[in-house]
Amino acid sequence: GKNVKIIQKIEELEMYRAFLIKYAEIGLKGKNRYIFENALRDRVQAALDRIGRYHVVREQGRIFVECPEDSDYDETVEALQKVFGVSGICPVVVIDSMEWDDITAGVGAYVEEFYEEQNFTFKVEAKRASKQYPMTSPEICAEMGAYLLGRFPALRVDVHHPEVSIHVELRTKTYVYSKTIPGPCGMPVGTGGKAMLLLSGGIDSPVAGYMIAKRGVAVEATYFHAPPYTSERAKQKVVDLARIISDYTGPIRLHVVNFTDIQLSIYETCPHEELTIIMRRYMMRIAEHFAKKSDCLALVTGESIGQVASQTLQSLLATNAVCGLPVFRPLIGFDKQEIVTIAKKLKTFETSIEPYEDCCTIFVAKHPVTKPVLADIEKSEQLLAEKIDGLMETAIQTA
Ligand code: ATP
Ligand code: MG
């Protein structure tokens, strides 16, 4: 509620700390549900393994995170906020007892520690894991409510619109929570198969990778490098970007393809206004080769309609024509500013705007075609026929 100030730090509290992970359950009926839950458990564990010795358990349709003694509250929450599939993060206090007097005392201490002033409206929501417990859920709610009213005279009960819902769950220990921090939502990475991201050093493609991962798709990436026209620093920038988004996507395998000879060959042979589009078609062909080898079911790019000449509908059509796999463009309807906003949130933006040349900037024509005709592009590509297969082969072998 708006008047309730919550103390976020629970370090001082003697009782031990955990988080309850909430997830959206829509569409997760039957068989799919446990696949989703196991994947989410694994993703949460993997995210937390990077910062400490956490223990993530799945039981009775719940995922709990048990924190090590030395864990940092903010760091833990920040890591959990990057795990797709998590819709809410509830800091939980665990009372290591099932005795009613311990439970009431513990919940009282919780209310005292977590809220600066005990003057809000509330209700108690109780759950019993075992029907063996001598009180029913309504009895637990009523007795706990009465206890809290007695201990904190300024509290008021409001069962319809409480400012605070105090959840008390009795399992083998007692779990208490009342606050939900929003998660990133989406689906656990890996539950939606895998896709090949064409990752450049720009602003857009890392954001596209993040967005596809949000829907549960694992990401592999291909970068086209053109030394000496593009520097080692430009390549390092792509590695850095992959590393940043891997906080969300999980580990990314990055294929670095030496694209220089193909680019030079196109440059020497084909009409310059078609350079970008032809180059893009060869990128797609090579990315698709690696995609199929790694069981990726789609290609992903950072394109958005009309952003540059190679991103008109005609250009996208000409690019798609070489692909057997579907090409997903999660940013297709986004304005640049909207993409930048996400890039800043992900913290890829600062890296993306580092000034090192990426492979397109050197071979860009002054007046690229904005409405390429597929038949013309195919005709121009035939001029490459003699050498291109060998060059593609080499690029693939040396990646
Ligand atoms: P970005 O910010 O992602 O670089 P951009 O606005 O610079 O995008 P383009 O350079 O036209 O746009 O590239 C469009 C898309 O093609 C990129 O989002 C990326 O998916 C792919 N792409 C472009 N260059 C490369 C490259 N050198 N290696 C891998 N993929 C690339
Ligand atoms: Mg680019």
Tens digits of per-residue pLDDT, 347-374?
Answer: 999 999 998 766 556 677 888 899 999 9
- Cα 167 from Cα 25, distance rounded (Å): 19
Which residue's CA is the closest to the ligand 1 atom numbered 16? 301
User: Which tokens go with 88?
Assistant: 């809410």
| Average pLDDT value for the chain | 91
Confidence check: pLDDT of 3 > 50: no
Tell how far the Cα of 153 is from the centroid of ligand 2, in angstroms.
Answer: 63
Confidence check: pLDDT of 1 > 60: no
Q: With left for phi above 0 and alpha for psi between -120 and 50, is residue 219 left, alpha or beta?
A: beta
CB atoms within 10 A of CB 258: 17
- Summarised one tens digit per residue, pLDDT across range 274-285 is 999 999 999 999
Tell how far the Cα of 201 is from the centroid of ligand 2, in angstroms.
Answer: 6
Half-sphere exposure of 328 (CA within 13 A, CB side): 20
Q: Which residues of 329-356 are buried (b: 16+ CB within 10 A; e: fewer)?
A: bbbeebeeeebbebbeebebbebbeeee
Q: With left for phi above 0 and alpha for psi between -120 and 50, is residue 382 left, alpha or beta?
A: alpha
Which residue's CA is the closest to the ligand 1 atom numbered 6? 204
pLDDT at 9: 40
Confidence check: pLDDT of 7 > 50: no
pTM above 0.85, yes or no: yes
pLDDT tier at 13, thresholds 50, 70, 90: very low
Confidence check: pLDDT of 393 > 90: yes
- Summarised one tens digit per residue, pLDDT across range 80-127 is 999 999 999 999 998 888 889 989 999 998 999 889 999 999 999 999
From the CA of 287, the nearest ligand is: 1
- Cα 291 from Cα 12, distance rounded (Å): 51
Confidence check: pLDDT of 154 > 90: yes
Which residue's CA is the closest to the ligand 1 atom numbered 2? 202
Tell how far the Cα of 202 is from the centroid of ligand 1, in angstroms.
Answer: 6
Q: Is 295 exposed, middle or buried (0-12, 13-18, 19+ CB in 10 A)?
A: exposed
Atom of ligand 1 nearest to the CA of 301: 20
From 196, 197, 199, 205, mutation site for ligand 1 pocket: most ligand atoms within 8 A of C-beta: 205
pLDDT tier at 5, thresholds 50, 70, 90: very low
Classified as helix, coil or strand, 63 is: strand
- In one-letter notation, the amino acid at residue 280 is R
> What is the arithmetic mean of pLDDT over 277-304?
98
pLDDT at 27: 57
